[in-house]
Amino acid sequence: MEEARKGLLGHLNMLEMEANNLELQQQELRQRGRQEELSANLQALLSKRDQLKVEIKANTSLQKMRTLLDRTGVPYERNEDVDDLEDGSDNSQLLLMMARHTQLKDLLHAHHLIGGYDVLQTRKGKGVCVSLATAYEGVYLETYNLEIDLGSNLRICRHNIPPFIPLERLVTQGNMQTDIRDFLDTLSQYLNAYAGRKQQLHLTKEIHSSVQVAESNALCTILVLMFTIPGEKAETTLCTLQYADHTQRLPTRVNIESEDTALASSPQWKKNQALLLETPLHTALVTMKKTGSIA
């Protein structure tokens, strides 16, 4: 009986020891799981920290773009900070796409601010090139370019504007520093008016073989045409068109010289003079030919 009791106590003692060992193992497992959880949280925090660093760098870069846009009215497309984002990681690629999207929005905003003129960055953001296209009757003609230095004061450093366009006077008298859109609009008026007068002269030579251009200047502000007046005596008439307003495509004065001294004061030629003042040259000549005023 005593031996059976001792055997039972030994068995209970063994079970208690196994239970204690099992509890210790469970504690170790719980501790190991907690350590793994803490390690995972640490890695997540470190990843979040790196992400925030990249976002701060991207936001700083974009802020520089907006600051430059506010100061000059033109966009800043790219800088070294943005280039640093191109490390190939998914996170950086996403931030780079966000930065470029913002750049495009700023480009559109600047495009609107300066009246729809095309703008390209030059010299790594230190300058911009503004393109001014000319057109007449729906046909695009020459395109002119201005490279503007974005220093403390805006300055034109290169251009291909024709020398007879008063560019320096427009810069001096205009408000390029405070309202670049107004300056570009005025310059565009000069260029488009010149292109329109030049195109009218080209169409006149192309359409009207009976009309000879006796004289014209580079700016096309003085044109001398030679007409033949139909009749028993074919008489030659000189018509001088003067364009005093260089921002317009129509003449401000029309003068007729003919061997027939009474021609200039005749009702028909007074109508022709009014027609030339109010209608593009090549179109007015078509009407004059239909009415029999010129051969």
pLDDT-based confidence at 50, cuts 50/70/90? confident
Q: Residue by residue, what is the 3-state secondary structure of 235-253?
A: EEEEEEEECCCCCCCCCCE
pLDDT digits (tens, 9 = 90+) for 78-91: 444 444 444 555 56
pLDDT-based confidence at 191, cuts 50/70/90? very high
At 116, list the tokens: 């729809």
- CB distance 200 to 281 below 8 Å: yes
Number of CB atoms found within 10 A of residue 23's CB: 10
At 26, list the tokens: 């469970």
- Residue count of the chain: 295
pLDDT at 86: 47
Rounded Cα distance between 39 and 229, Å, is 101
pLDDT at 91: 62
- Give the mean pLDDT of 123-127: 79
Q: Which of 33-37, 57-61, 170-174 has the lowest mean pLDDT?
A: 57-61
Angle between helices 90-113 and 2-72 (to 10 degrees): 20
What pTM value is reported for the model? 0.62
pLDDT digits (tens, 9 = 90+) for 202-245: 999 998 888 999 999 999 999 999 988 887 666 788 999 999 99
Number of CB atoms found within 10 A of residue 81's CB: 16
The CA-atom distances, in angstroms, between 86 and each of 37, 81, 124, 228, 294 are 32, 10, 17, 72, 70
Rounded Cα distance between 78 and 109, Å, is 16
Burial code (b: 16+ CB inside 10 Å, e: under 16) for 54-65 equals beebbeebbeeb
Q: Using the structure block, give the residue that is written with the tokens 């701060």.
A: 56
Q: Tell me the one-letter amino acid at 213.
A: V
Burial code (b: 16+ CB inside 10 Å, e: under 16) for 149-160 equals bbeeebebeebe
- Give the mean pLDDT of 130-142: 91
HSE-CB of 3 using CA atoms within 13 angstroms: 0
Q: Which of 60-69, 145-154, 175-184, 264-273 has maximum average pLDDT? A: 264-273
At 76, list the tokens: 């800043």
Sign of CA dihedral 258, 263, 265, 270: negative
Higher pLDDT, 248 or 209: 248
Q: Using the structure block, give the residue that is written with the tokens 């870069």.
A: 61
- Give the mean pLDDT of 103-118: 62
| Mean predicted lDDT score pLDDT of the chain | 78
pLDDT at 59: 59
- CB distance 79 to 64 below 8 Å: yes
Residue among 126, 163, 130 nearest 144 (CA)? 130
Statement: residue 279 has pLDDT above 80: yes
Q: Walk across the sheet containing 253-258 and list its strands.
A: 212-216, 222-229, 235-242, 253-258
Higher pLDDT, 17 or 150: 150
Number of CB atoms found within 10 A of residue 204's CB: 20
Rounded Cα distance between 237 and 151, Å, is 56
- Give the mean pLDDT of 170-195: 87
